[in-house]
Chains A and B, each alone.
Chain A
Amino acid sequence: MITTIVNFLQRAIVQGIPLLYGSCGEIITEKSGNLNLGIPGIMYVGAVSGVIGAFFNERIAGDKLNPFFAVLVPLLCSLLGSLLMSLIYGFLTVTLRSNQNVAGLALTTFGVGVGNFFGGSLATLYGEGGALSLKRTSDFFKTALPFASKLGDFGKLFFSYGFLAYLAVIVAIVAAIILRKTRVGLNLRAVGESPATADAAGINVNRYKYLAICIGGMIAGLGGLYFIMDYTCGVWSNGGFGDRGWLAIALVIFAIWKPDMAALGSALFGGLYVVYIFIPNLSRSSQELFKMLPYLATIVVLIATSMRKKREHQPPQSLGLAYFREDR
């Protein structure tokens, strides 16, 4: 019984990590007043850039794969890829003040296309049987703490993950502290709530928006990297990432725009995502119904927060609106 529960929790957390990265990035972005619906696309690009980096690194390194570079190269490639995507979104919505919903959706179309195109092409050109495997790189990403296996269930639950999983939690906590306790966080929230006020107070609105979009996008991209390098053990398959990007956006609402809540929420969402595996005697059709749970949970939270109208549970006030100083 205990083993089943530990197994369940462990799988929930593993499922939750990409969501945590995605939602953490989206929270930071939304706090600046930009609703980035391009996050699913950015996560795809984050994943595929890591794959490209790892692929060439493995080829160049040959048999002697240096652990340090095997991790560093995909990581940097992934960050660079998501940074470029974020810059496209930032340029469109901040500099050119276009509609955020449309720009975000276009970015997702583009990003998913880029991911599947380059991932799929690499797989057909160099993969075996239509799938590209980067297991050697993945092994370094998955390296768990050495004493994890000695601690039984406890070790499995807390120490059995690759370093990106711990990084996700650290990023969430740091983001929460920055948003809540520092001047930078206060300024960022001001930009998201009322850019005109922030502008009058001498805050550079555009710079904050760009920074939030880029940093948020890069964090979200790491979610894609984690998914490929850790969850799927370095195997790219087209469309494998599925709708996790949208689920990450859902998690933002669930976590009422708090990164630390997102850390808890991601495990819960991950649990809802896999719970059907652990309920005995489910027919195949009811499994499909169970997969609805994360979305239903989000809808419930969305309704509940809007009905209670607590000030601190609302989205940033200017979310979705472009800022133009001379608009009155």
Chain B
Amino acid sequence: MHIIKRAAMPSWKAWLIRLAAILLSLIVSGLFVMFVTKLNPISVYIEMWKGAFGSSRKIWNTAQGTAILLCISLAVTPAFKMRFWNIGAEGQVMAGCIGTAAVMILFGNKLPTFWLMVCMVAASVASGIIWALIPAIFKANWNTNETLFTLMMNYVAIQIASYLSTVWENPAGSAHIGVINMNTGKGWFPAIFGHEQTINILIVAVLTAVMFVYLKYSKHGYEIAVVGESENTARYVGMNVKKVILRTMALSGAICGIAGLIIVAGKDHSLSTTSAGGQGFTAIMVSWLAKFNPLMMILTSLLIVFLERGAGAIATSFRINDSIADIVTGIILFFIIGCEFFVNYKIVFGNKGAKQ
């Protein structure tokens, strides 16, 4: 038995393999849940479906959750395509949250609504960019390991949030910020069509389309792809690799900042150390699962959010620990990660492969 690399597989076939992996993983995780809850697997899935899509409020919340995760996934995508392993989305989103919350708290009652919104957008985008550019500058100039650098930046951002939570605590002594501008609603995104989730979803929908075009049809997108495939080639054809790295990371940071803006102004109306909630890490997997295709990411982020909400609903209705959602997500990720092997390689038994 031996393993050989495949020539490019038609993409429908590759997606078929991935679909099979998802189905298989749903079976395995269903078995696991069944083992824990003693329910039959069918009712487990029905329960999960109800948890994510059971009522119109749940559908809106699932859609919003998908939008936020999708936004962060869009943010990490250009950097990943460039093979810049930015695992600092968590920190960059936190930076965006901090920027937004700071403007809401400090200027909430001083600026007219329009200018307040402008300042919030500027602050969130700027903080995201700064947080992303710091490691990028060191990577571009001294080839400092970006995976570990961005990882550390996450915790610095979380500690800053924790610091601000005690500075701006409300009520005093709680070490929590609570709902910002609770009575005035200053700096909150307005509800459109009667739902406050609408605007968040719309922002991300626009971003998704823009990112798809940017990566696929713009010159920048092409440069990102070339740098990702081979830095030497990029240099040889005269691209300024340093500039591409910095520009792309700034873009990543800016979109992370917008995700932070959505989380604080559109959803939580508050700031805490868990504002980003680990989604910066999940987004990496969402983006990778979709093979860095923004349109596919709609599906992959929906899948992850569905799993989390569905498993959460099971946890509540059967009174089991809600960490079961993490386990189920983990199992499904293992399968999808593993199935790439069958897309890229094929196993040959006997001597057949040697002749080629």
Contacts and interface: CB of A to CB of B under 8 A. Distances in A.
Contacts, number: 159
B155 A243 contact: yes
B334 A88 contact: yes
* Chain B interface helix/strand/loop/mixed: helix
B326 to A, nearest CB: 3
Contact of B337 (A92, A121, A284): A92
Contacts of B163: 285-286, 288-289
A139 B317 CA distance: 38
Interface in B156-198: 156, 159-160, 162-163, 165-167, 175
B138 A306 contact: yes
A120 interface: yes
A320 B149 CA distance: 15
B148 A302 contact: yes
Given A110-B330, A110-B334, A324 B156 contact: no
B162 A291 contact: yes
A72 B155 CA distance: 36
A217 to B, nearest CB: 15
A51 to B, nearest CB: 14
B5 A291 contact: no
A222 to B, nearest CB: 22
A1 interface: no
Nearest to A297: B152
B288 A110 contact: no
* Range for the number of chain A residues in contact with chain B: 35 or more
Interface stretch (A57-65, A93-101, A179-187): A93-101
A249 B337 contact: no
A105 B329 CA distance: 11
A42 interface: no
Interface in A231-249: 238, 243, 246, 249
B333 A109 contact: yes
Nearest to B168: A285
A106 B323 CA distance: 14
A327 B331 CA distance: 29
A76 interface: no
A169 interface: no
Contacts of B325: 113
Most A C-beta atoms less than 10 A away, residue of B147, B156, B345 = B147
Interface stretch (B240-248, B253-261, B279-287): B279-287
A96 B340 contact: yes
A314 to B, nearest CB: 9
Nearest to B143: A306
Given A113-B330, A284-B166, A105 B321 contact: no
Given A88-B334, A327-B5, A121 B321 contact: yes
A9 interface: no
23 contacts: A91-B338, A96-B341, A99-B340, A101-B87, A101-B284, A102-B333, A106-B333, A107-B330, A110-B326, A110-B331, A113-B323, A113-B325, A114-B330, A117-B324, A117-B327, A120-B323, A124-B321, A246-B155, A298-B148, A302-B145, A306-B143, A306-B144, A309-B142
Complex A-B, nearest 9 residue pairs according to Cβ-Cβ distance, in ascending order: A110-B330, A113-B326, A116-B323, A106-B333, A96-B341, A306-B144, A117-B323, A288-B163, A113-B327
Given A285-B167, A289-B159, A295-B152, 17 more contacts: A92-B334, A96-B340, A101-B87, A106-B330, A109-B329, A113-B328, A115-B323, A117-B326, A117-B327, A120-B321, A121-B321, A250-B151, A286-B163, A288-B163, A302-B145, A303-B138, A307-B144
